[in-house]
Amino acid sequence: MPLWSTFPSFCSILGFPNSGRREKNSKHRSVVFVDMWWLFSRKGTSGFSAASTAEEVTEGINGTGLTAIVTGASSGIGAETCRVLALRGVHVVMADINLSTGSNVKEAIMKEIPTAKIDVMELDLSSMASIRKFVENFNMLNLPLNILINNAGVALVPFLLSQDGIELHFATNYLGHFLLTNLLLENMRITAHKNGIEGRIVIVSSVGYKVTYHEGIRFDRINEKSGYYSFLAYGQSKLANILHARELSNHLKEQGIEVTVNSLHPGVIATNILQHQRFWNGIVTAVSKYVLNVMKNVQQGAATTCYLALHPQVQGVSGRYFVDCNEAELKSHAADTNLAKKLWDFSMGSIS
pTM (two decimals)? 0.87
d(CA 110, CA 119): 11
d(CA 87, CA 56): 12
Length of the chain: 352
What's the confidence (pLDDT) of residue 269? 81
d(CA 348, CA 161): 19
Closest C-alpha to 58, from 94, 87, 15, 101: 87
Contacts of residues 214-222 at CB distance under 8 Å and 24 or more positions apart, as own/partner, are 216/332, 216/333, 216/336, 216/339, 217/243, 217/333, 217/339, 217/342, 217/343, 217/346, 219/342, 219/343, 219/346, 222/166, 222/167, 222/170
d(CA 313, CA 321): 14
The segments of the chain whose pLDDT lies below 70 read 1-40, 270-294
Q: Which of 228, 234, 307, 321 is catalytic?
A: 228
Distances (CA, A) of 125 to 19, 35, 151: 36, 40, 11
What's the confidence (pLDDT) of residue 294? 56
**How many alpha carbons fall within 13 Å on the CB side of residue 288?**
16
Cβ atoms within 10 Å of 346's Cβ, excluding its own = 16
Q: Rg (Cα) of the chain, in Å, rounded?
A: 19
Cβ pair 76, 152 in contact under 8 A: no
The separation between CA 105 and the C-alpha centre of its own chain, rounded to angstroms, equals 19
Pairing between strand 321-323 and 326-327?
antiparallel
DSSP 3-state of 68: strand
What's the confidence (pLDDT) of residue 40? 60
Active site residue 213: no
Cβ pair 310, 295 in contact under 8 A: no
